[in-house]
């Protein structure tokens, strides 16, 4: 059953059956892939996002795979809606900060023009729908982890081994997410709660595949949205997770460490810029 938030209202993955999770921005893209993988691992998955139809579809697939799905429509730029979402979750083991808002919701997309030609509204959108939304979710998730003396916060980011992402606002927003993960790790270490930033590679999201349908391009080396989901599941199962806390991790590197593959049996490496594309 789907719930709508309104202000004023109260390879196969090994199991994480007792884990209660929240994946923000789970109606599509890598958020949906992460939610699917957690469902396959038999977790209880709260999934949030703005699109009711997308959440309902994702929830049905999670249940089909053996997980428990609780979809909640929530605009993560609205603090009142976020409060109501968390009021539904008495305890939490895993938060996946993934909400982003979609490139189409940023005023001028993700063009590569010089930043002095961009409006400040571009920055406002990337900050509000990304980094700020992650901070808001984290501050409400942590009190639901503290009584257990354990927990994990995973913040998804774009990452190219520290290289500049060729768009000033985008780079700052994503680097800010990495710094958030690091700061949370330091503050939460005494409480047994780990925090990491996690980067996918070149993912075959709905938007990527729609672009490919219009203008075909090479998909070799790409990965499914569930590849990063399997990385999240393995992190959630890792008894030594605290040793990774504060780090920037990639799905490709974790696949090699933990020995999992993508849904097609392949093991794509961490993404790198093609030769000559990086500015640094």
Active site (catalytic) residues? 170
Compute the distance between CA of residue 115 and CA of residue 112 in angstroms, rounded to an integer.
8
What one-character DSSP code corresponds to residue 203? B
**In the chain, how many H helices and how many E strands?**
9, 8
Residues forming a β-bridge with 4: 73
Q: Is-contact 51 28, C-beta < 8 A?
A: yes
Compute the distance between CA of residue 7 and CA of residue 127 in angstroms, rounded to an integer.
22
Secondary structure element (H or E) that encloses residue 24, with its range: strand 20-24
Secondary structure element (H or E) that encloses residue 64, with its range: helix 52-64
Closest C-alpha among 42, 46, 59, 38 to residue 89 = 46
């Amino acid at each position: 059953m789907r719930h709508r938030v309104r202000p004023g209202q109260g390879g196969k993955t090994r199991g994480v059956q007792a884990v209660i999770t929240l994946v923000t921005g789970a109606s599509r893209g890598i958020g949906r892939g992460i939610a699917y993988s957690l469902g396959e691992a038999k977790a209880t998955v709260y999934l949030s996002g703005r699109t009711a139809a997308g959440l309902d579809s994702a929830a049905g697939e999670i249940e089909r795979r053996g997980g428990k799905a609780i979809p909640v429509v929530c605009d993560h730029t609205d603090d009142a809606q976020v409060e109501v979402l968390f009021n539904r979750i008495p305890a939490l083991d895993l938060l996946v900060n993934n909400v982003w808002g979609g490139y189409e919701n940023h005023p001028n997309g993700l063009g590569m023009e010089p930043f002095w030609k961009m409006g400040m509204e571009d920055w406002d959108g990337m900050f509000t729908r990304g980094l700020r939304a992650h901070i808001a979710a984290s501050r409400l998730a942590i009190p639901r982890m503290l009584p257990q003396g354990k927990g994990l916060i995973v913040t998804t980011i774009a990452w190219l081994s520290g290289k500049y992402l060729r768009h000033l606002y985008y780079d700052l927003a994503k680097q800010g997410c990495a710094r958030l993960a690091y700061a949370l790790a330091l503050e939460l270490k005494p409480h047994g709660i780990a925090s990491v930033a996690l980067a996918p590679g070149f993912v075959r999201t709905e938007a990527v595949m729609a672009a490919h349908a219009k203008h075909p391009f090479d998909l070799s080396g790409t990965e499914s949205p569930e590849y990063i989901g399997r990385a999240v599941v393995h992190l959630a199962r890792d008894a030594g997770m605290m040793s990774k806390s504060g780090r920037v991790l990639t799905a490709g590197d974790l696949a090699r460490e933990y020995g999992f593959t993508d849904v097609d049996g392949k093991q794509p490496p961490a993404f790198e810029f093609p030769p000559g594309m990086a500015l640094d």
